[in-house]
Amino acid sequence: NRQLVLATRPKGAPTRDTLTLKETTIPTAGADQMLLRTEFLSLDPYMRGRMSDAPSYAPPVEIGGVMVGGTVAQVITSNVDGFAEGDFVLSFNGWQDYALSDGTGVTNLGKTPDHPSWALGILGMPGFTAWAGLTRIGEPKAGETIVVAAATGPVGATVGQIGKLLGCRVVGIAGGRDKCAYAVNELGFDACIDHKADDFADQLGKATPNGIDVYYENVGGKVLDAVIPLLNPNARVPVCGLISQYNATALPNGPDRMNWLMGQILRKKVKVQGFIIFDDFGHLYPEFAKEMSAWIETGKIKYREEIIDGLENAPEAFVGLLNGENFGKRVIRVGNK
């Protein structure tokens, strides 16, 4: 049973010393337990927060503890009602080949789900995050302009596509020409701007001639800087993530612009609301699942996955995710023997 455990708390970006691969014996299911074999491990930006012991909405992984993570697994042996050998499940095994579970928080996906790994993306936490943050906090109305960065990732791509279904103008922001072309040509965004371009802020202004009504915040940093002056009166800003800051060790230099920002929020009457998906919107999950499944079945929402083989490759793949090396939802096919 291979396990990736937290060896040190990273300062800045995680390195190859952050996690170590450990071999342990495969556990045996006791009474009221089942043994799960991890098939797919989700890589998500929030995992950077769990490596750190800075105060957060969830406790950090302990040093020496198995790194946490959402997984799709198969039931190997079961003493838990409602779960039988061979069932696929959505579980929270973490970064390891095998885990025991008593069934708490585990969802049975059946013996032959069409796309088991999608439960980690479009049909799971990131898809739900996009849907709830946009519709419940962003509250877009037809004809309004939505801007979203990390536009080809599982959250951003879904935000933009839902925005189009609701009749909005959608402008994405992504890293590089290929991602931007994909957002426009495949996902149907009206425009997509490369945040690495020197004239990024100018281009964003030109792509939003009627201003910005909903800024779905995924990244912070210079994207946020460019967006704030373009916000319309009564704009809404669901604060979902700030990935440009996750590896930061200090605040950026420069004049203190806190009061300028608050002035913008005040004068434009902007609603800025942070959220943690299951804390705030867990009760809406069934409604999301129903609506999203229908959109996928009818081809209204597209989904792009990037599958990387081998649990041993997860640490490097995770560092790459924070840097924008992923193109679509990054999932590890664990490949245990």
Phi, psi of 300 (to 5 degrees): -80, -25
Interacting residues with ligand NDP (CB under 6 A): 44-46, 126, 129, 149-150, 152-156, 174-175, 179, 195, 218-219, 221, 223, 240-241, 243-244, 275-277, 321, 324, 326
Q: How far is the CB of 71 from ligand NDP (least distance, A)?
A: 15
Residue 325 to residues 127, 194, 315, 322, 329, Cα–Cα distance (Å): 20, 14, 13, 8, 11
Q: Closest Cα to residue 93, out of 58, 119, 69, 62?
A: 69
Nearer to ligand NDP, 100 or 176 (CB): 176
Collapsing DSSP to helix, strand or coil, 317 comes out as: helix
Q: Smaller CB distance to ligand NDP: residue 97 or 305? A: 305
Least Å from the CB of residue 84 to ligand NDP: 31
Return the closest-CA partner of residue 65 out of 22, 17, 10, 1.
22
The single-letter DSSP state of residue 313 is: G
As measured in angstroms, the least distance from the Cβ of 28 to ligand NDP is: 34
Nearer to ligand NDP, 219 or 270 (CB): 219
Q: CB-wise, 94 or 153, nearer to ligand NDP?
A: 153
How far apart, in Å, are the Cα atoms of 169 and each of 159, 162, 177, 184? 12, 11, 20, 12
Nearer to ligand NDP, 107 or 210 (CB): 107
Contact 219, 244 (CB under 8 A): yes
Least distance in angstroms from the C-beta of 132 to ligand NDP: 9
Residue 179 CB, nearest approach to ligand NDP (Å) = 5
